[in-house]
Amino acid sequence: MNRNPNAIDTQRLTLLLTELRLPAIRAIWPDFAARADKEGWPAARFLAALAEHEIAERDRRRIERHLEEARLPPGKTIDSFDFDAVPMISKAQVTAICAGDGWIEKGANLIFFGPPGGGKTHIAAAIGLALVENGWRVLFCRTSDLVQKLQAARRDLALEAAIAKLDKYHLLILDDLAYVAKDQAETSVLFELISARYERRSTLITANQPFGEWNKVFPDPAMTLAAVDRLVHHASIFEMNVESFRRRAAIQRQVKAGRPPTYATAKTSRSIDSRDNQPQDQALPDQL
């Protein structure tokens, strides 16, 4: 019995594309081939169309992988950030930062100061998301969680390896620096991380306290000075001294419910801030 040579060629091509690890071309080539035959494409155009599709699919899959590993909090984008409520930061300025060109290659840093609820975590996560979409690798961590992970690595005599594995991230986002414990052993691993990334890889830090109060994080004055010196040497610093978004939202909810805004007392506002400002427990990369 004669076998259809076209069917044989199709099977052979599928096997070859699988061997060459070209899944996008393997999936789309029959449609492209039919269109090329119908429209009379030259061979070069047909091959270029297949190659472009493969590259686009690889880029899409890479971004998906990097978004998953970045562990960014959901829903935090540049478009959803209320720049009107934070007039000291412009959308144009943040958009330029999100391109990553000119500062990530140099290992420069970003530092956001401000009281709880002012949008520091939102803008940090939004920058991280935009950078991933632009091809950079990012990791978002609650600072206290990462410090505990590094402290465990130190106990296992693997701190240097754990810090080295963070090098694959062009930007490391350390959220809520103020919530690090004051224990000398724990804050020393944070200092070692900052020192290891100095002028090599970028770090973004959000903190409630200005530099003058970082002695609450680093109990050793010399360590405080050294950490600040390394972070600010190549850094853009933003002070977000605005009213808490959560406090305003709480007041607006009470107004809509028919209760006067004076019911949102300073005491209840502080309790809302401290509770809502604590991110949920976050799993960190197993490779640390």
Residue 284 corresponds to which amino acid?
L
- The contacts of residue 235 (CB under 8 Å, 6+ apart) are 108, 109, 110, 111
**Model pTM?**
0.74
Is the model more confident about 280 or about 253? Answer: 253
Residues of the chain with pLDDT > 90: what percent?
Answer: 48
- What are the phi and psi torsion angles at 83 (to 5°)? -70, -25
- The contacts of residue 101 (CB under 8 Å, 6+ apart) are none
Task: Point out the least confidently predicted range of 36-50, 147-161, 212-226.
Answer: 212-226
Assess whether pLDDT exceeds 50 at residue 70. Answer: yes
Distance (Å, whole) CA 268 – CA 4: 78
What sections of 71-140 are H helices per DSSP? Answer: 91-99, 120-133
- The contacts of residue 38 (CB under 8 Å, 6+ apart) are none
Which pLDDT belongs to residue 5? 57
**Of 18-22, 67-71, 189-193, which has the strongest mean pLDDT?**
67-71
- The contacts of residue 236 (CB under 8 Å, 6+ apart) are 97, 103, 108, 109, 110, 111
Please choose, from the candidates 167, 147, 168, 93, the residue with its C-alpha nearest in 3D space to the C-alpha of residue 123: 93
Is the model more confident about 2 or about 17? Answer: 17
Interval 146-174 mean pLDDT? 94
Which pLDDT belongs to residue 214? 76
Which pLDDT belongs to residue 258? 58
Distance (Å, whole) CA 251 – CA 262: 8
Band of pLDDT at residue 9, cut at 50, 70 and 90: confident
Contact 288, 150 (CB under 8 A): yes
- CA atoms in the 13 A half-sphere facing the CB of 259: 11
Query: Which tens digit of pLDDT belongs to each residue from 51-62?
Result: 999 998 988 999
Which pLDDT belongs to residue 117? 84
**Of 163-167, 189-193, 208-212, which has the strongest mean pLDDT?**
163-167
CATH number 3.40.50.300 is the correct assignment for the domain at 72-242 = yes
Annotated domain spans of the chain: 5-69, 72-242
Band of pLDDT at residue 257, cut at 50, 70 and 90: low
- Average pLDDT in the chain: 82
Interval 36-41 mean pLDDT? 91
